[in-house]
Structure 1
Amino acid sequence: MSSSYDSRLNKERAQIFKILGHPLRLAILDELRNGECCVQDLESRLGAEQSNISRHLSLLKQVGIIDCRKEGLFVYYFMAIPCIGNFFNCVNQVIMKRAENSRELCDKE
């Protein structure tokens, strides 16, 4: 593997992680982990404005994390990379472990 390939790949990875770095986008992905949704579903579940949700969906779609299909007047979004749920589970474990360690440290003081 060449250095230029590694550099390009790392730039692409960084872009995906940058897109994941927003609380509303993470909330959208959490909803999509449970199945496909249209913007109206996400709007009612997340309490965010339609225009805001649509903007975040567009960014997630640009990097290939989600995709969509049209049915009549509605566009339904779904996870294009289902393994991202496994990644979220792993991150949740790190967060819980860090919280446990913090509690243990406080108990010792």
Structure 2
Amino acid sequence: MSVPLYQAKAEFFRMLGHPVRIRVLELLQDGPKPVRDLLTEIEVEPSGLSQQLAVLRRSGIVTAKREGTTVIYELAGGDVAELMKAARRILTEMLAGKNELLAQLRESGSTVR
């Protein structure tokens, strides 16, 4: 029995639903990075980062390759970077709308006595 597309999408977004995973994906937009660089950029214990990287690897969103003792992660495809950029645009629009509403509320609050 196949999973409906909307359910598969929901699972995909649930998998993305962790701040460390999102931060890893943001950092990897600039290209492959070794784990040590990810640890420097993300304030998390090594075991926590390892756990989140494993989730991303199992999902197929990132790939890992070993070079000597160093493990280097990269995005599996350009679509993930595009998704991160789209999320940034959507959030920017949402926040801009809230700022406009806040300004309107402040204006109307100063004229209503």
The two structures have a TM-score, normalised by structure 2, of 0.83
Letter in 2 for 1:61: R
RMSD (CA atoms): 1.6
Deviates more, 1:30-39 or 1:59-68: 30-39
Tell me which of 46, 52, 62 is aligned to 2:42: 46
Letter in 2 for 1:54: S
Larger radius of gyration between Structure 1 and Structure 2: 2
Letter in 2 for 1:105: L
Letter in 2 for 1:95: L
Tell me which of 3, 15, 27 is aligned to 1:19: 15
Q: Which residue of 2 aligns with 1:30?
A: 26
- Partners of 1:103 and 1:10 lie apart in 2 by 32
Unaligned runs of 5+ in 2: 106-113
Work out the percentage of aligned pairs sharing the same amino acid: 27
Letter in 1 for 2:16: L
Alignment of 1:70-89 (within 5 A): 70-89=66-85
Deviates more, 1:58-67 or 1:34-43: 34-43
Give the superposition deviation at 1:13. 2.6
Letter in 2 for 1:33: Q
The superposition leaves residues 20-70 of structure 1 with CA deviations (integer Å, 9 ceiling, x where unpaired) of 100111001111111111221111111211111111000001111000111
SS at match of 1:47: coil
The two structures have a TM-score, normalised by structure 1, of 0.85
How many residues are treated as equivalent by the alignment? 105
